[in-house]
Structure 1
Amino acid sequence: MDSSSNEKDHAGKYTDIIVNYIDGFHYEMIPADVIQYAKMVIMDTLGVTWAAPVKKTEISRRIIEFVHTVDQMQESTIIGSKYKSNAINAALANGTMAHDIVELDEVHNRAVTHTAAVIVPAALAVCEREEKSGRDLIAAVVLAFDIECRLGIALEDASIYARCFHPTSVCGVFGAAVAAAYLLQLEKEEIRNAMALAGCQASGLIAWETELHHMSKSFQSGMAARNGVTAALMAKMKFLGPPAIFDGKYNVFDAFSDKRNYHLLVEGLGSRFEILGAGLKQYSSCRHTHTPLDAFMKIILGHDLAPQQIKKIIVRATEVAALMTDNNTLPTHNTQLVLSMAAFDRKISVEQYLHERYKDPEVIELSKRVEYIVDPELTRCYPEKWPAIVTVETQDGRNLSERVDYPKGDPNDPFTFDELKEKFMYLLIEGVEKERLQRVIEILEKLDAIENIKELSLMLSA
């Protein structure tokens, strides 16, 4: 067991620092570049969420139907539908759709969590309930990133996975609770209890990897959003929890990790804003497939290779990437199938999953000629880099190789605002009027000037 600091010497110390930071946080603390990037992350997440019902995915249909069946309270918008529910169930529905089979939602590099898919739906639901402003939404999202991602970094994704848990849901419930606590203006001890009650609900198994249709994976982000909002609302009603959930006698590290990196919970707090580590996506697939995809696309597009010219594909990548994507059951998390679909279609999009392109015999046949190798040197670079080396052996005897360390959309190779707007329009234009989409983009670009978030949420309904 890793013990970077003696837990007996500081029981409750780091919980206190986190609670005090949340209690003292305000919009004016956020630098201009962080505000701008937060707007991009929020736009990206809302576009990806909205795309699920627009494209009529089975997951979005079922979660909207479920929430409308159990709750018809007119409090918070269920994106892409004509329905509202209470904030708790709106967070569930929107959080589930944010991480739908569309698989284009943000991933934080070092925490390795789909942070925004949990935080943004939770924050939006409470923001609408409380009639808060665009500034309030931005601040809640930035603050929640700071706490959730530091927790993910401290626990370490490999350690969480080793215990069969899912970092996005385990850490996400804390992010959702932070966002909700900020928007509900909880007092200091209420914040402490919100964190504790979030910890008491932290859950989510990696078992979703064995389910073919992505439903359980999507549910776990919605579940985390729902549980975090629940924790904050209960804390506001004076419900109590254990006083030191992060570093007390029984804590989140004991449950989900073999690490004891308590100091990482607060490292750079207030000066390093974790939302700047959020990576956005250009492919509808697991983030661990993106550097192999970028490298592969460089080869096939650069040499104009048809699938029939490919003899074999060799992928060298990290140990964690192999765990998540080497011949896995879930098609979005199967590097062999993803590269094979890309070879034939020269893209990876949600439509390929909705139309079950991965079941085509030609795709399956080529996927069997994709070899996956765990590279110790590349593994040592992770998670600061997510490197991959792809080699394509052609039928005429050539060996073509490319290495990519940072996928497109990574903070080291970021989208421009214009590129992000193109992604937003591409995802939604077939189901939503162009003028409406342009108006939503205008609102999101000027989010910090919006007095009541209902101006945005109204535009996101059906």
Structure 2
Amino acid sequence: MEALRQLAAFVQELRLEDLPQDVRDAARYCVLDTLGSALGAAENEELAAIAREYAQWTGLGENNRSARLWGSAQRTNLMNAVFLNGMMAHQLELDDVHTASKSHVGAVVVPAAWAVAEALGCSGKTFLEAVVAGYEVMGRVGKAMDVASNRKRGWHTTGIIGTFGAAAAACKLFGLTQEQTANALGLAGTQSCGLWAFLAEGATCKKLHTGRAAVNGVASCLLAKSGMTGAIHILDAKDGGLYPAVSDSWDMEKLTEGLGQSYEITRMDKKPYPCCRTTHPNIDAALRLRAEGVRAQDVAQVLVETYEVGVLQCGFSKYPESPVEAKFSTPFTAACALVKGHVNQADFDEQTLQDAQIRRIAEHTSVVAAPLFTERYPKQWGSRMTITCTDGSRRVCQIDNMSGSVAVPLSPEQEQSKFLGLAAACMDLPQAQRLMEEVLRIEQKQTLPQVGM
């Protein structure tokens, strides 16, 4: 059986009661993490302007089914909700990361599954099944290709593979057959998109990739439901296959190896810092060296050794001019950690960018590729920091497993604290606590809880 059909069969047959407890627990916390990451951006001005503009041009369909824009009282049609919530979940750069596929799964799959489930009136149990299905399909489609070469070609992997995850989740909720689901996955692949050009200019459109992947995946489901067929060999076709187009190599066996026995949703990193995941091992190292007595005023030079993609993505020597650029700057984030002792959302503002000490250290920071870390990537995202002090002494810290990784996970208490802190942007603490409690027992709910005012 073709790989895409095997994935479709997995989606169609998946039942929550058959899943191991750790998978169900992971699913609930992935939903919580995504909702928190989105709610923290609920009052973002750019997102609000987009929502207002879209409301002028789109309305409810003939069935009058709608879904809520997270963090607000506004309801809209299914596709708008999927799109706008998908962008919101990626705005702060706090959403989860699947390192093997170098992708943000939650910001695509959870908004797609939530809006569809809400519009259809599905139960929490059915919703959680869809989430697991989406994470599994998206993660496997990504890890089956060489994601380092995908990134070096300028593609944003999340946008490329996210359509598959959203389509899988939507097909599960709509109850599509195995053949319809396979067709939807084929249709998802031909709608993959997302480029890294935004970074060089500090453009704000990276979140478009999660939103567009989510809405294109749901569209793929609706198209297949309507009778359209997709290419079953969309991934590996010699002429026009996705993998040959976006990657140097791939292994089709990884798409189905251990399918139904091991689950990608249990291999998700959760971000403790609101910036590109590539910067996180360097932040960890800076914070550790600071705790060991390194003072910012004594730092003369900083050398960061990491993997090739990490240099390409966040190793800029130019000092950032905007919050977007700062979130993708290893020199800035490391300097911020050394000077302030933390890296949080409030640190990505003009005042922090103008901090003389942070700028001095950042401009004396070099980021280079090292074979050790390049060979490990993407299985491990690590780095080594060497600080040379003004007295000539050197301090070194190597991070092999960063905070929030599968090897060094956030505790349930830390994940809950993260959610409550982010949700405070648009709701009071009692409301946030109620929502958190409902999400953590969501499979018991007949309908999804309200995520808004």
TM range (shorter): over 0.9
User: How far apart are 1:67 and its partner, in Å?
Assistant: 3.1
Contact 1:14 1:246 in 2 (8 A): no
In the other structure, the counterpart of 1:67 is 54
Please give the alpha-carbon distance, in whole angstroms, between the structure 1 residues aligned to 2:409 and 2:126. 25
Q: TM-score, normalised by structure 2?
A: 0.93
Contact 2:198–2:205 (Cα < 8 Å) also in 1: yes
Does residue 1:78 correspond to 2:78, yes or no? Answer: no
Verify the 8 A CA contact 1:317 1:374 in the aligned structure 2.
Answer: yes
Q: Which residue matches 1:414?
A: 409
Give the Cα–Cα distance (whole angstroms) in 2 for the partners of residues 416 and 382 of structure 1.
25
Higher alpha-carbon deviation: 352-361 or 43-52: 352-361
Which residue of structure 2 aligns with residue 111 of structure 1? 101
Does the CA contact (< 8 Å) of 1:76 and 1:85 recur in 2?
yes
The alpha carbon displacement at 1:354 in A equals 4.1
Q: Paired residue for 1:263, among 222, 242, 253?
A: 253
Moved over 6 A (4+): none
In structure 1, what is the Cα distance between the partners aligned to 2:147 and 2:264?
16
Alignment of 1:271-350 (within 5 A): 271-303=261-293, 305-327=294-316, 330-350=325-345
Determine which of 388, 406, 424 is the counterpart of 1:393.
388
Tell me whether 428-437 or 225-234 shows the greater mean CA deviation.
428-437
**1:56-455 aligned within 5 A:** 56-73=43-60, 75-100=66-91, 102-213=92-203, 215-249=204-238, 250-303=240-293, 305-327=294-316, 330-355=325-350, 357-429=352-424, 431-453=426-448
Q: How far apart are 1:290 and its partner, in Å?
A: 0.7
Cα distance in 2 for partners of 1:207, 1:323 equals 12
Once superposed, what is the RMSD of the aligned Cα atoms?
1.7
Answer whether contact 2:161 2:192 (CA < 8 A) is retained.
Answer: yes
Rounded to whole Å, the distance in 2 between the matches of 1:257 and 1:131 is: 39
Q: CA contact under 8 A between 1:341 and 1:363: conserved in structure 2?
A: yes
Taking the aligned partners of 1:50 and 1:420, their CA distance within structure 2 comes to: 14
Cα 1:300–1:40 shift into 2, 3 Å: same
**Distance in 1 of aligned mates of 2:199 and 2:351:** 17
What whole-Å deviation, never above 9, does each CA across 1:288-318 have from its counterpart, x for those lacking one?
A: 1111111110001221x43212111111111
- 1:158 to partner: Cα distance: 1.2
Q: CA deviation at 1:355?
A: 4.1
Rounded Cα–Cα distance in structure 1 between residues aligned with 2:243 and 2:364:
41
Count of matched residue pairs: 442
**Structure-2 separation of matches of 1:430 and 1:226:** 25
Q: 5+ unaligned residues in a row in structure 2: which ranges?
A: none
Shift of 1:81: 2.0
Give 1:361 deviation, angstroms.
4.0
Say which SS state the counterpart of residue 333 (structure 1) adopts.
coil
Aligned residue number for residue 41 of structure 1: 30
CA contact (8 A) 1:142 1:275 kept: yes
Superposition TM-score, scaled by structure 1 size: 0.92
1:22 alignment counterpart: 11
Q: Per the alignment, in what secondary structure is the counterpart of residue 206 of structure 1?
A: coil
